[in-house]
Amino acid sequence: MDKFKAMQTFVRIADEGSLTAAARSTGASLPAVVRSLAAYEAELGVRLFNRTTRRISLTEEGRQHLDNCRQVLLALEESEAALTAGATEPAGHLSITAPVAFGQMWVAPAVTRFVRQYDQMRCSVVLLDRVVNLLEEGMDLGVRIGALEDSSLVALPLGQIRRVVVATPAYLRKHGVPKHPRDLQQANCIRMIAGKPTWGDFQENGRAFRVNVSGNLDFNHVLPAVQACADGAGFGMFFSYQVAPFIAQKRLKIVLERFERPPRPISVVYPHARLLPARTRLFIDWIRNDITAFRT
């Protein structure tokens, strides 16, 4: 028995959740996967999975052995990667997901620069404003905004973002700089159609609060709302990444900073269950070095 191959098959079955899916993902026949698992269990003298006609699940011994197998396989992969680093051009396919606006502004340009540098790579970028299950939807990695609740994912920091109130310097000169969020109740504020008639993400003396706002411009998409704000149409409340280029160009100015709530983390995430190919590790290093605007 090829114990190393049997170990790989065992890990793949655990990752895919079924014998059939493991066979499909490895290109092996289902009988071959079944025989490999049976021989491996016989060799170890333990049952690694509980199997019924409808589902398969790890036994307690299987869960313990799975962690050990992953460490062994990862150590071997990292050793091989260290030997071959720089010897070959990275190649293959990566699928990456991110929130729509952040992806449009920051992730997609970073991926474009990546494939221009490594032209043997092919990347698919899927932008969705929902939490994507990376394993179920076949994604290699994702970019997330906010605290990570899924403990099955590894998260590496890209930076932090804030929710900020902005206006143009000319608008502030004409209408005055607000001293407190309540001052926005009398101001012209650019709002999102799907949002509440209040702006939140304010805090004072450790307590969060919202203020009612109104205005003569509503949008159902954030980027034209940002553009309207940069054109002097009123106050806007946006994530800092959405207005970062305009702030850098001094077209927009942040106000009411002392009332902001704590920043949210931005992370690049990938499943614990997967051993990272060299191309994935390369891309993670790339995007963490490429997107530096939100480092603290």
80-123 pLDDT tens trace: 665 555 556 788 899 999 999 999 999 999 999 999 999 999 99
pLDDT of 295 reads: 64
pLDDT, average across residues 213-227: 93
pLDDT of 56 reads: 86
Q: Which CATH number fits domain 3-84: 3.40.1350.10, 1.10.10.10, 3.40.50.620, 3.40.50.300?
A: 1.10.10.10
pLDDT of 108 reads: 96
The residues with which 29 forms a beta bridge, in sequence order, are: none
**Residue-wise pLDDT tens digits, 174-201:** 999 999 999 999 999 999 887 677 898 8
Q: In the chain, which residues fall in CATH 3.40.190.10?
A: 92-154+278-290
User: Using CB atoms within 10 A of its CB, is residue 98 exposed (0-12), middle (13-18) or buried (19+)?
Assistant: buried
pLDDT of 16 reads: 84
pLDDT of 111 reads: 96
For the chain, give the longest Cα–Cα distance.
Answer: 80
Q: In the chain, which residues fall in CATH 1.10.10.10?
A: 3-84
pLDDT of 37 reads: 93
Let me know: does 97 contact 126? Beta carbons within 8 Å. Answer: yes
Rounded percentage of the chain residues whose pLDDT exceeds 90: 56
Position 55 confidence tier, pLDDT thresholds 50, 70, 90: confident
pLDDT, average across residues 16-20: 87
**How far, in Å, CA of 268 to CA of 159, rounded?**
10
Q: In the chain, which residues fall in CATH 3.40.190.290?
A: 163-259
Residue 273 pLDDT exceeds 60: no
Q: Does domain 163-259 have CATH number 3.40.190.290?
A: yes
pLDDT of 138 reads: 82
pLDDT of 10 reads: 92
What CATH number should be reported for the domain whose range is 92-154+278-290? 3.40.190.10
Place of tokens 């990272």: 276
More confident residue, 295 or 54: 54
Beta strand ranges found along 178-287 (DSSP E): 188-192, 198-204, 207-212, 214-219, 236-239, 253-255, 264-271
